Amino acid sequence: MSASDAPPATPPPAPPRAQLRRRRFSFVWLIPLVAALIAGYLGYRTLLQQGPLLTLTFDTAEGLAAGQTQVQYKAVALGTVESIDLSRDNSHVVVKVRMNNVGKRFLTSHARYWVVRPRFTPGDLSGLTTLVSGAFIAVDPGAPGGDYQTHFAGLEEPPGVRSNEPGRTYVLKAYHLGTLGTGSPVFYRDVQVGEVLGYDLGNGLGPVTVSIFVRAPFDNLVKPASHFWNSSGISASLQNGRFHIEFQSLQAIISGGVTFNLPPEADHDAASLNDAVFPLYNSEDEAEAAGYQNNVQIVSYFTSSVAGLTRGAPVNILGIQVGQVTNVRLIMDPKTGAAKVRVAMDLQPERVLAAATIAKAGVSPLDVLQNMINQGDRIELGTSSFITGQKDIAFVKVPKAPKATITHEGDALVLPSSGTGLDSVIANISDISAKLDKLPIAQIGDNVNKLLVTTNKTVASAQVKQTLEQLNATLRTANTTLSGVNQNYGEDSDFQHNLEQLMNEANATLRAIRLLTDELQRDPQSLLLGRSGH
């Protein structure tokens, strides 16, 4: 049988069909899925809550730390510092702050940023809480509105006025600041009601501009009639023979201070507007003098020294101040070389009489002053303190003063001055001393010595002794004669009594001559200089 005739081979059996088995879902795979979803959600939420990037520049990064320092407003966190770096020119530091959604509200052109650190200065003791919590960046939102802004130049000092603090700012003009500076207190009746914001020298030639802030409701006490004066430091003076020290407060001594008042007559006036301008006086006395409405300008000239007389010195009548000195100036004639001192003064009649009384009197100041001059009143330089040498001006009555007429010098009245007073007495004593110096004292002494020698020789001479002996002999003879007369005329006769009286007087005279002779022999110079006491 051939291979072609062979029966076909039986095909192999087909393999069994594979059966698919379903696997159960494993919850293990849910963990990374849920984690991914959570991470995505948190990232999305972070992106939603993340605010813009704020850029601040400061002179120094002292107290700041990336990732820690916060931006705060009223103790509420507005953002966190992300990085701190130097500027390209190394002149300042650049601080990047990531603000939150709330912090977006403070990104306006009216906002101000500064670093709150501990401050220990005479005028500022603040930021003490940062000793524990660390420094933070504070923000003042400013007035509502403003343009959106993310770059700011930070303040190096906290601002004096915050946008949420009611009050008004004012401008003071002064020629001397003393110890005034930023942060110096402003007082009203010894109560601190504001502070000095700063000052500007301008071109350096005019007055200094001082900005101050007065908090509400005390700003309503600042009115056009108010006066401001510098109350810095300590004021010392002699008053009624007593040493008087006055100061506003300990803080004013250290950091300076400004005080203002409100005249009673201005109580119902409207308050001054914001940024109103006032002069800043050097003292309370100057401020008080500026409040008088009727000022009479007078001038007087002196040819003696006025050392100790300064601007602001009082002008007195009978010890009561009626004005003050406004200027002291030396005037010299270039042709003759003669010099004199021009003293300008302001008289304030309201120190003595009320303004209404002055107006009702209807008498001009010229008439009043001329009447005083006619009665002998003159302007005199006096000494108010022998310790400090401070001088003042006074109206004094000069006996037999020559007639004088008040003249005019512009708007000022020129009053005659007097050379009397302590300075004049000292000048007279100096003249007497000069005259005594010119006396030939040495020559007079020589002549006196010669006279004493001559007197001594004369008293001790033999002629004087012989004369005394002759007087004694005469008295003895007279006594003998008296005895004979007594025998002839009797003891009770008138002649006897008269003769006896005569002899007693003669004996007394002789004893006096003897005593004088003995004294001159012991101390011849007593004849000219008197007895020496021994």
Q: Would 158 be classed as within a structural domain?
A: no
Instruction: Note whether residue 298 is domain-resident.
Output: yes
Select from 81, 56, 50, 77 the least CA-distant residue to 66: 81
Task: Give the span between the Cα atoms of 481 and 496, in whole angstroms.
Answer: 11
Partners of 239 in the β-ladder: 242
Helix (H) or strand (E) holding 456: helix 441-459
Round to whole Å and give the CA distance between 436 and 402. Answer: 31
H or E stretch covering 244? strand 242-247
Q: How far is CA 363 from the centre of its chain?
A: 38
Please check whether residue 462 is in contact with residue 469, taking contact to mean a CB–CB distance below 8 angstroms.
Answer: no
- Residue 232 domain-assigned (yes or no): yes
Task: Output the furthest CA–CA distance in the chain (Å, rounded).
Answer: 251
- Looking at the fold, whether 214 and 309 belong to one and the same domain comes out as no
Confidence band, pLDDT 50/70/90 cuts, at residue 526? low
Q: What is the mean pLDDT of residues 422-429?
A: 56
Amino acid sitting at position 238: L
Q: Based on the domain organization, do 284 and 341 belong to the same domain? A: no
Query: Of 112, 130, 153, which residue constitutes the final position of a domain?
Result: 153
State whether 376 and 397 are in the same domain: yes
Position 429, amino acid:
I
pLDDT higher than threshold 90 for residue 214: yes
Residue 236 and residue 190 share a domain: yes
Residues 133 and 201 in one domain: no
Whether the CB-CB separation of 142 and 163 falls below 8 Å is answered with yes
Confidence of residue 71 (pLDDT cuts 50, 70, 90): very high
Q: Do residues 315 and 376 share a domain?
A: yes
In 3D, which of 130, 136, 151 has the Cα closest to residue 79?
A: 136
Summarised one tens digit per residue, pLDDT across range 143-193 is 888 899 999 999 888 887 777 788 999 999 998 887 787 888 899 998 899
C-alpha–C-alpha distance, residues 190 and 249, integer Å: 8
Q: Is the pLDDT of residue 277 over 50?
A: yes
Are residue 395 and residue 483 in the same domain, yes or no? Answer: no
Please indicate, yes or no, if residue 490 is contained in any of the structural domains: yes
pTM reported for the whole predicted model: 0.55
The answer to the question of residue 145 being in a domain is yes
CB atoms within 10 A of CB 150: 13
Which of residues 289, 322, 355 is at a domain's end? 289
Query: What's the structural domain count of the chain?
Result: 4
Residue 30 lies in a domain: no
Look at residues 289, 319, 336 and tell me which one is the last residue of a structural domain: 289
Query: Is the domain of 280 the same as that of 206?
Result: yes
Indicate whether 17 belongs to any domain: no
Range of the domain at 409: 294-431
Residue 3 belongs to a domain: no
What is the arithmetic mean of pLDDT over 123-127?
A: 49
320 and 222, same domain (yes or no): no
Query: Do 71 and 92 have their domain in common?
Result: yes
Query: Do residues 206 and 254 both lie within one domain?
Result: yes
CB 207 within 8 A of CB 199: no
Q: What Å distances lie between residue 206 and 123, 174, 182, 201, 281, CA to CA?
A: 26, 9, 20, 8, 15
Per residue in 512-524, pLDDT (tens digit) is: 776 766 666 666 5
Q: What are the tokens at 93?
A: 């530091």
Whole-number Å distance between alpha carbons of 139 and 213: 19
Query: Is the same domain home to 283 and 299?
Result: no
